[in-house]
Amino acid sequence: MRSERGAAPASWSIGVLLILACAAGGSWWWRARTLAAPAADPGQESWNRVKDAYPLPRDPGTAPLLTPEIAAGIVAANPFSPERRAVVLPPESGEGAGKAGGTVEPAAPIFVYKGRVRMGPRERAILEDTAVRKTYFLEAGQEVRGFKVLDIAESQVVLSDPQTNDAVVVPLKAAASRP
């Protein structure tokens, strides 16, 4: 004798068979429709769309010419160089033509000492260069914009000026007063 709990009703097995048959028929129909569709050339299709949106000029002489000064400026603008803020200007026409082709030097650094951070035996000063709006986390001996960090104290940072080799003392910026 069979127990009632172990036997599956016949209607369940018929239902499962119908579901499997529908899935097999659907997958066969999908495969037939997919393989019967003509394959589009994605390279041609996308290029035609770009060509229509951005037509090429008919006369190549209308394109702006790359002058040697502009090319030199592009080559000099290395994004990985620390001097990347110096900009080479192309020749100007009209007023100020005598200054053309020169470089615009970055602004002289104006440091503000924001504080210091201690991580075990290591100590870092938080300096902000207000000329370029950049913050540096520096240890003694490291350089920032040509200045070498000589000493880090609680109330000041001592830097070495690269041009005069004099010590430049940057005091701690006073905290904002609280109301």
Q: Where are the domains of the chain?
A: 65-104, 111-171
| DSSP summary character for residue 24 | H
* Verdict on whether the full-model pTM lies above 0.75: no
What is the pLDDT, as a whole number, of residue 166? 85
How do residues 35-60 score in pLDDT, each as one tens digit? 776 766 665 566 777 788 877 777 76
Architecture of the domain made up of 111-171: Roll (2.30)
How do residues 59-73 score in pLDDT, each as one tens digit? 766 656 778 887 887
What are the strands, taking DSSP E only, across the chain?
Answer: 87-88, 103-104, 111-119, 122-129, 134-138, 143-144, 147-152, 156-160, 167-171
